[in-house]
Structure 1
Amino acid sequence: MKKERKMFQVSWRVIWGSSLVLGILASIPKLCEQNSKISDALINSSISFFFSLFIWYYNIYALPKFTSRGSSKNFLNGRLFLSVIIGMITMILIVIAHEELFLVSRSDARVMFEILSFLINLIVYMFLHLLFQNYKTQQIGFELERTIAVNLGAQYELLKQQVNPHFLFNSLNTLKSMVEMQDPSSADFILKLSDFYRFTLESRKLDIISLGEELQILEAYTYLLKARFEEGFDVENQIEPKYYQCGIPPFALQLLIENCIKHNIVSLDKPLKIRLYTENDFVVVENKIQLKMGSLSTGVGLDNINQRVLHLTDKEIEIDKNETEFKVKIPLIHDYTNN
């Protein structure tokens, strides 16, 4: 579900709290005068308080709004000038209203109130401008994260599509040979081929599956390979059942087996032995090195698996290689959600 863009808002606590502070600050000069009256200080304070409230709501709702439509990039602009003019007029009206309400004269202090209106206007506008710039920065960060997530998702979907299409061609050729030779295992081969592609279609929709499900896919896959290579190929599964509920990217093991066959000799004279086991929360695929003549690894298959693992966890695959053995370790994912 697409997340809606959050509108810019200023908390009422900020508006009323800052207005109250400005009102209190405006009363301090009056309190410091000789023969000052508390009533005069309260009047000055209330004038500043109500003016500050007006300026806050005017800037938010009438300049026009600071919303997702955006605002001017420059701090000094026509909106600030208009706010200052309207603010001065509003301050005069508030002062006159106080004079009529409290039956006092503030005509001698109107210049002071106009200067005060300018300062309050500038403070509120500056604070609102900073809040809005912070809001835009957060929105840019949100859009960047969303774009990265969409991009990673698209890349991951592409990675999942890289299961070798030549496997189907080879399997059909094997089936053709079995049918021509009237091999009694042809029916079983067809069932395993059907199972494998059913697993493939079901698992393509998932980012992660259980290790047990992955081993089911691998069982069907290796059956098809053994029908092709006979005793020249063998996979020994030594993975403990307690790890079967751990998560793993779909087709990760199948791609590693495919990688072994691609780069190593597979024959009756020199059978390829592959061993699966677990080690420190990693599932390990190990084979003896018996490279084909002219075999050159581009690393595309291993990079595919590594990118898919990184999409799901913060760990990477590990590769151990010596003169005789090649090991690839895939981190197991605990407490995953299959979705």
Structure 2
Amino acid sequence: MDEGFLRLSRRFFSNEMWNEARTFSSCEAWLDLIQSARFEATPRKESIGGREISYSRGQYPASIRFLSQRWKWSEKKVRSFLVHLRKKGMITVECNQGMNLITLCKYEEYNPMGTTKGTSKDTGIEKEINELRHEWAQLRAQLGAQPMNNNLPQSELLQKSGHTEGTNTKKEEREYIDISLHQKKENTPDGVSKKAKLSSPSPSEKIDYSGLMEYYNTTFKDRLQQIRSMTDVRKKAVKARIAQYGKESVRSVFNLILQSPFLLGANDRNWKCDFDWIFKQANFTKILEGNYNGTRLSKNQQDSEQRKRDSVLAVATTVREAAAKKRKELEAEGVIE
């Protein structure tokens, strides 16, 4: 039989059998994601390495390296596993404030909220409240998985619907990915950092094209097409952009690209930018000016997202009204004071 549920206490994940040192199977890794995601309905805000990150019910912030150590997998295997889950529609992954945020698409099916406390019967209004909560959580997950420019921030959306973000800033022993630290610091034969050499403000210093190529390939490994040589055309374009904006602009542009799902392939055509496209004058300028920040959506997609936000607010209002009505009924019956 493949219907119904098996109740599994969360204490199971503190059991010595679960914590036994081992290489996780794919099934165990998926179960670990389910049990690690936030269960509480209220969003949580944590301070990690001097940065604040907020995540909600059904979401789990974790870096590739952290999951690699936790599951005893290679980082390549972790990436492949997450890609597989995304293709199956089981999770979404977004980069939030330089950190990976995993959202379980059907979290409510794995961890449904309990019924209202203080009652012995699952009345019709309780079912309605739970169904509305389920629909609301799904809409929130969809919105959280698709950030947009000029959108209402999710924290503000939750506050308008009667919820406030948690303020628990206790640090946990987890690692989070920081896109600004993706590039490994390497030295040239003379002992000077390649990144420092690239961004040196000295006007008399020559551009280290070989160092730039390696910096680009390392920064966008497994994200964008790698380059194998610095042609004269590429050198000319790089020299022109640095003359126009300075060497530090190259690192700024690379970091902005890392934070742009659109430039990394999250678009209708699955198009990705490449080295030559980046260093064209118009494109380089647009990236610096923030034209590609967030997710660029078509007019129809924007209208769809607006309808989703309106639905979230409408459902939230209905939940509050139903909960208030139920409380009055319980007070009248003397169940609660």
- Both proteins in one fold, TM over 0.5: no
Larger Rg: 1
Report the TM-score when normalising by structure 1. 0.23
Higher share of residues assigned helix: 1
Q: Name the structure, 1 or 2, with higher relative contact order (CA <8 Å, separation 6+).
A: 2
Report the TM-score when normalising by structure 2. 0.23
